[in-house]
Chains A and B, each alone.
Chain A
Amino acid sequence: NAGVTQTPKFRVLKTGQSMTLLCAQDMNHEYMYWYRQDPGMGLRLIHYSVGEGTTAKGEVPDGYNVSRLKKQNFLLGLESAAPSQTSVYFCASRDALGGGGPDTQYFGPGTRLTVL
C-alpha cells in the first residue's frame, strides 16, 4: 500500500514548455486534489475531482488543466509554463463524505517545479 505517489519529484522547465504531473493513489478514494505551496502562502487548491471523469476549479486554477480518466489517477497539466508557476505541488486524496464528516486527506510527497 503506497498511499499517494507523485511523479516526478523534481522538474525544471523553461518558460513556455509544457508538462504533466501524475498523481496516483491506491486507497480507492473518490476525491482527489491538487494544491500548490508557495513560501508564506500555505497551500492553495488548484483543481479537484469528486470522481472518475469529473473535475472542478479550486482557488487558483488559471494556467492549469486536469484530467481524471481513471479513479486512481489525477493528472495536472501545464500547457505553457510561466515563472509564476514555480512552486511545490501536492496531490491529496480522501474517501467520500461519510456520516461523521469529511475524512482525512492523504497527501503525496510533492513535486518541486522550477520554471526558468
Chain B
Amino acid sequence: AQSVTQLGSHVSVSEGALVLLRCNYSSSVPPYLFWYVQYPNQGLQLLLKYTSAATLVKGINGFEAEFKKSETSFHLTKPSAHMSDAAEYFCAVSAASGGGADGLTFGKGTHLIIQP
C-alpha cells in the first residue's frame, strides 16, 4: 500500500522568493512519484514525474523535484515564485511493480499563495 503526506495545507511566499512544497511518501515497492498542479476551477496538470531514471527531475514552469530514497521524500521547488504560480499542488504516488494500473494515491494538497 502507498500513502503520501504533504506538509502544510497552505504555503505563502513572496513573489521572487524560493518555493518549497514538501512531500513524503510511503510505499512497499519502488515508487513512481508525480506532482500535479490545479488552477482554480480546472483539472489537474502534470508538473513533473519521477520514474527511476534520474533523481533530480525538471518539470514545466521552472519547477523541479528531487527524489531522496533515504528520506522517502519528493519535495517540489522553484527558485523564484511568480504570481501565476498561485494554485493547488498535489503530490501523488503509483506502485511501480503493479504497473500503476490501479491509479494514483494523492496527498491532500498544498495551496500555494504568492504575496506581491
Q: Say if the beta carbon of A50 comes within 8 Å of chain B.
A: yes
Chain B interface residues toward A at CB < 8 A: 4, 9, 32, 36, 41-46, 49, 51-53, 90, 92, 94, 96, 99-109
The interface of chain A, by Cβ under 8 A from chain B, is: 4, 31, 33, 35, 40-45, 48, 50, 56, 58-59, 90, 92, 96-97, 100-102, 104-105, 107-110
Question: Is A43 in contact with B106, judged by CB distance below 8 angstroms?
Answer: yes
Q: Are A102 and B51 in contact (CB under 8 A)?
A: yes
CB<8 Å pairs between A and B, sample of 5: A35-B103, A59-B105, A101-B52, A102-B99, A105-B46
Q: Are the C-beta atoms of A58 and B103 separated by less than 8 Å?
A: yes
Among A92, A107, A108, find the residue whose CB has the most chain B CB atoms closer than 10 A: A107
> A99 → chain B, closest Cβ, in Å?
10
**Contact between chains at B106 and A31 (CB < 8 Å):** no
Q: Are B90 and A102 in contact, with the CB atoms below 8 A? A: no
Q: Which of B41, B44, B106 contacts A44 (CB 8 A)?
A: B106
Query: In chain B, what residue has the closest Cβ to A108?
Result: B43
Given contacts A90-B44, A107-B44, contact A43 B90 (CB under 8 A): yes
| Chain A residues with CB below 8 A from B53, complex form | 100
Q: Which residues of B contact A44 (CB under 8 A)?
A: 106
Beyond A45-B102, A101-B100, 17 extra complex contacts between A and B, CB < 8 Å: A33-B103, A40-B108, A42-B107, A42-B109, A45-B105, A48-B102, A96-B101, A97-B100, A100-B51, A102-B94, A102-B99, A104-B49, A107-B36, A107-B43, A108-B43, A109-B42, A109-B43
Considering residues B41, B51, B104, which has the most beta carbons from chain A within 10 angstroms of its beta carbon?
Answer: B104
A48 CB to nearest chain B CB (Å): 5
Contacts of B49 in A (CB 8 A): 104
Interfacial chain B residues near A105, Cβ < 8 Å: 46, 103-104
